[in-house]
Structure formats: C-alpha cells, structure tokens
Amino acid sequence: MNNMHPRVFLDLEQTIIDEWSNPVLINVGKISNFLRQNNVDEIEIFSFAIWDEKDEANFCCELETRLMEALGLQVRFIVHRVDQISNAVFKNTGVLWERQELITCLGKQEAFTQFCRAKFGKGDHCILLDDMVMNSVTVDTDFNRIIQAVRI
C-alpha cells in the first residue's frame, strides 16, 4: 500500500452530529476509538450536508475545533463538498449528477465508491464511517485499492 494508514472519511449527520442545523455531538466514543486504532491524523469529511463553500466555511469555523476536542485528537480536516463529490463521480462514470440526484439516486455508498475510484490510486485504502452504509469492503485488484464502508 502507498499509505501507512488508511484514508478515513467521516459523514456528519447522524454519524458524529445529530443534524447540520443542530450539531449536537453523537457517537464520539466509537469514532474516537476507531480513529485511535487506525492511527488517524487526518479526517476527510464526506457528507451530503456540506453543499457549498458557505457550508464548508461553517464547518471550519463552528464544528472543526469542537470535533477535535471531543475526539481528543489533533487531526487535520479535509472537506469534500457535494459539488466536488459530484465532479469526481462524473470523472469516473461519465454521468454528471445534479446534487439532489446524486443523493437520491446514487446514494452515499455508491457515490463514495465512485469518488474514491476517481480520486485515489494504487495501494490506497479508503474507509467511510457513516450511519447509513452497509459494512462492506471492495477490492479493486487492478489497482490494489481498498474501498471500505463502516456503519457507525
């Protein structure tokens, strides 16, 4: 593998916060334990709650520090907005999804798989922590790439 540690992606709503409009922290212990067990120092946000640059700025200003403190970890956050996810899925599939179609038709788990195939290469191991996914592991043998979903 190219990376010593997996790339860990975190959903927000119903995974680490109650909802975007009411960001009460939830599942902190489970997520913190997972991150510690995998020696994670970088968390990539993969959430359909972050639609645009305004939402991204809200996350960075209002939620990022709270999450770090609650998780008890010094980590760097990378945010992937819905428009960026849609563009990556287009790059991999040739289908340009409107944001709402991406959410309702493709769904989180398939969008994550296509996103990872478009963005990451040989030897990468990508893990999505989310409340709505099925526990699964996909191995792209041509690239020695692992795409994993973990239900929280």
pLDDT by residue (tens digit) across 95-124?
A: 888 888 888 888 999 999 999 999 998 899
Q: What single-letter amino acid sits at 67?
A: L
pTM: 0.93
At 144, is the secondary structure helix, strand, or coil? coil
Number of CB atoms found within 10 A of residue 31's CB:
24
* Least confident window among 5-9, 68-72, 103-107: 103-107
Which pLDDT band, with edges at 50, 70 and 90, does 1 fall under? very low
Average pLDDT score over the chain: 93
Place of tokens 């960001």: 23
82-to-11, 70, 107, 129 alpha-carbon distances in Å: 12, 25, 12, 17
Secondary structure element (H or E) that encloses residue 19, with its range: strand 17-19
pLDDT of amino acid 4: 63
128-to-94, 98, 113, 116 alpha-carbon distances in Å: 23, 22, 9, 10
Which pLDDT band, with edges at 50, 70 and 90, does 2 fall under? very low
